[in-house]
Amino acid sequence: MPGKTLYDKLWADHVVYTEDDGSALIYIDRHLLHEVTSPQAFEGLRLAGRKPWRTDRNLAVADHNVPTTDRDQGIADPISRLQVETLDSNCAEFGITEFAMDDTRQGIVHVIGPEQGATLPGMTVVCGDSHTSTHGAFGALAFGIGTSEVEHVLATQCLVQKKAKNFLVKINGQVGAGVTAKDIVLAIIGAIGTAGGNGYTIEFAGEAIRSLSMEGRMTVCNMAIEAGARAGLVAVDDVTIDYCRGRPYAPKGADWFMAERVWRELHSDVDAVFDKVIELEANAILPQVTWGTSPELVVAVNGHVPDPILETDTVKQQSMVRALDYMGLVAGQAITDIAVDKVFIGSCTNSRIEDLRAAAAVAKGKAKAASVKLAMVVPGSGLVKRQAEAEGLDQIFLAAGFEWREPGCSMCLAMNADRLEEGERCASTSNRNFEGRQGYGGRTHLVSPAMAAAAAIAGHFVDVRQWPVV
Amino acid sequence: MQFPITNIMQAFTLLDGLVVPLDRANVDTDAIIPKQFLKSIRRAGFGPYLFDEWRYLDHGEPEMDCTHRPLNANFVLNKPQYQGAQILLARENFGCGSSREHAPWALEDFGFRAIIAPSFADIFYNNCFKNGLLPIALPAATVAALFQEMVDGYHLLIDLDAQQITTPSGQTITFEIDGNRKYRLLNGLDDIGLSLQHADAIAAYETARTQRAPWLF
Ligand code: SF4
């Protein structure tokens, strides 16, 4: 019998019951909640007279609607405010732990889970949010769910799921200087497309992935969903174990040693068989910039906006034409000639301490271009913010003319006051460049934190590998 | 333990519906229902804002009255011949992006009961079944043929039980759907009630897992 993949192991460990058609009831170890996708789930529980199966596996935080300035003034938009207040009252009513807006632990749900040790290796982690794939960086089976499923998890601590297929994405060798986890994952999406991972769980492996910090691995897994895979995974190793040790929700004492022994088995067997495998060479990956309205529409920074004429697939060709029109770009334009109006450094993809350090290293001692209207840095959590301030990163950003904000989703999806105006172009470290994502008519280019900071200073995209870092 | 099973959604059996062609690939859930409408704490009322940025010429905000907003006459859903459509025909990777269940809520509230495309994003596909909406994945060539033969007033007959679509010319196309999902949709059954029938198994699992992973409990 062939060996098992990491995904096979995680799946088998959580099956409660299997139906005749192969769908299974699987147990959920950690349920994270936020204000946008939970109100109707709590309402459903109330209407059916149901109680949560157990409260201690749930952790809630408001992140999408929260303001990133003047927190003490509360939320100005009454509809946003009601949604956040609804989360507060639901958590109070059902006995669920919530990090409220004024708690230093508040932040983006996918940043705080790992930071608190609420996400641990070997767990199943779900949240009513597609970027739950982030937590797969810990060798945890983590995926986004809809609101009906949020209600289902609350009521049963389980979900009905069908097992996905196994997809191995291997990045051989090491990336060059200036090339980050974000560039790796954008290159992967460019290679396999936004539907490439549909129906699969992707395990990211290879030397370049092993060499990433936990922050970098989270960036990669975060965007597994942009490749169509509900879940991304990275095997557990010393980097994982070291990150988890001592976190508030992590096991302590004898429990820790037992957990560590179990966690070290969380990798695919050498003879495991995957349904699909692709391998990319790390040294061929350069800093990436998306040019269109889907993350797969991406090129290297030294490249040009592609020409739809050269695309043979007519459906793809039409999408490219529409994307160019929406983005206000012309085929053949050099990426480094594209000027930006705004810069956003943040989101669950790139708002952790390492991301802020990378951006600060580029911005240090320099100034934002006068043509750039706004460059904002939004830390992923209150604790990331505090850490960055302790390292003086906030001062570097402020001196360079960047804004230093309070934690939350912010301009990743512009549900709060932070947004692009119609026609504005943004270098963004977030994960989606869809039409209107960062504001009605806004134009998004996805890049790494270092690339975003460099664009803020130069006023246009630049190859960060040629950037003089002091 | 015994828990009641309730019928919470509309059961899906036979549908004879008008088809509207949305000739785009990678239609994402941000496009299906833009984020400003996600601020609602209710489950209903999203239909008027379905495809808001494509359907209207102005910028939509939650709780806006849509009856007097300027329509984009070029957008297919606004064309007179497609009014009352219940079946949406689209290209690959429909429903990609955000997990928002507001997307199927909006499609359902607008009046759609089925979506036909070569492929769907996983979370969206899953969410449809929770809301009485039937996503049908057909080979790309079959979908392309349907786009080809579309004429005004084009109807399709969808028989979920037989897993069959009949075209106006009498051609039949079979489709795949897993048994469990089909059963729940045919009967409009409440997933939570069904899962709670296994409450004893869940409790037994928790006990066993407490031995294996005591740090979790
Ligand atoms: S940061 Fe963006 S992608 Fe991440 S959870 Fe918030 S809105 Fe979603």
CA distance B26 to A28: 30
Give CA angle at A61 (A58, A66), nearest 5°: 165
Structural tokens at position A101: 């807006």
The H-or-E segment that residue A94 falls in is: helix A78-94
State the pLDDT at residue B1.
41
| Beta strands at A30-33 and A124-127: parallel, antiparallel or unpaired | parallel
Which residues partner with B117 through β-bridges?
B137
Sign of the dihedral through C-alpha A280, A232, B208, A161: negative
Return the best residue to mutate from A130, A413, A416 for the ligand 1 pocket (most ligand atoms within 8 A of CB). A413
| Beta strands at A288-290 and A97-99: parallel, antiparallel or unpaired | unpaired
Reported ipTM: the value is: 0.92
Q: Would an 8 Å CB–CB cutoff place A330 in contact with chain B?
A: no
Using the predicted structure, report yes or no on whether residue B7 has a pLDDT greater than 80. no
> Would you write out chain A's pLDDT as a tens digit for each of its 470 residues?
889 999 999 999 999 999 888 899 999 999 999 999 999 999 999 988 999 999 999 999 999 999 999 988 999 999 999 999 999 999 999 999 999 999 999 999 999 999 999 999 999 999 999 999 999 999 999 999 999 999 999 999 999 999 999 999 999 999 999 999 999 999 999 999 999 999 999 999 999 999 999 999 999 999 999 999 999 999 999 999 999 999 999 999 999 999 999 999 999 999 999 999 999 999 999 999 999 999 999 999 999 999 999 999 988 999 999 999 999 999 999 999 999 999 999 999 999 999 999 999 999 999 999 999 999 999 999 999 999 999 999 999 999 999 999 999 999 999 888 999 999 999 999 999 999 999 999 999 999 999 999 999 999 999 999 987 65
Give CA angle at A349 (A347, A352), nearest 5°: 80
Q: Which atom of ligand 1 lies at the shortest distance from residue A34's CA? A: 5
Contact A105, A90 (CB under 8 A): no
At B30, which amino acid appears? D
State the pLDDT at residue A55.
97
Chain A residue numbers with beta carbons less than 8 Å from the beta carbon of B98 are 129-130, 432
Confidence tier at B2 by pLDDT (50, 70, 90):
very low
CB contact under 8 A, B99 and A37: yes
Structural tokens at position A208: 């370049």
Stated pTM of the model:
0.94
State the pLDDT at residue A260.
98
Using the predicted structure, report yes or no on whether residue B113 has a pLDDT greater than 60. yes
Structural tokens at position A127: 């949240």
Cα A44 to ligand 1 centroid, rounded to whole Å: 24
State the pLDDT at residue B9.
66
Structural tokens at position B78: 């606004």
> Which amino acids bring their CB within 6 angstroms of ligand 1?
A 63-64, 108, 110, 129, 131, 347-348, 409, 412-413, 430-431
Largest CA distance in chain A: 64
User: How close B6 gets to chain A, by Cα (Å)?
Assistant: 9
DSSP string computed for A151-191: HHHHHHSEEEE-PPEEEEEEEES-PPTT--HHHHHHHHHHH
Q: Would an 8 Å CB–CB cutoff place A395 in contact with chain B?
A: no
Structural tokens at position B73: 């006459």
CA atoms within 13 A on the CB side of A365: 5
Cα A8 to ligand 1 centroid, rounded to whole Å: 28
CA atoms within 13 A on the CB side of A313: 9
Nearest chain B residue (CA) to A151: B192
Q: How many CB pairs under 8 A join A and B?
A: 186
pLDDT tens, position by position, B158-189: 999 999 999 999 999 999 998 888 998 998 88
CB contact under 8 A, B178 and A23: yes
CB contact under 8 A, B101 and A148: yes
At B114, which amino acid appears? A
Return the best residue to mutate from A32, A83, A110 for the ligand 1 pocket (most ligand atoms within 8 A of CB). A110
Distances (CA, A) of A258 to A119, A201, A274, B216: 17, 27, 29, 12
SS3 state at A374: strand
Using the predicted structure, report yes or no on whether residue B4 has a pLDDT greater than 70. no
Q: Whose CA is nearest to atom 6 of ligand 1?
A: A409
User: How close B98 gets to chain A, by Cα (Å)?
Assistant: 5
Q: Whose CA is nearest to atom 2 of ligand 1?
A: A412
Average pLDDT over all residues of chain B: 93
Least Cα distance to A442 among A344, A350, A361 occurs for A344
At A381, which amino acid appears? S
Structural tokens at position B210: 């407490």
CA distance B81 to B74: 13
Contact A133, A231 (CB under 8 A): yes
Distances (CA, A) of B175 to B158, B160, B167: 10, 9, 13
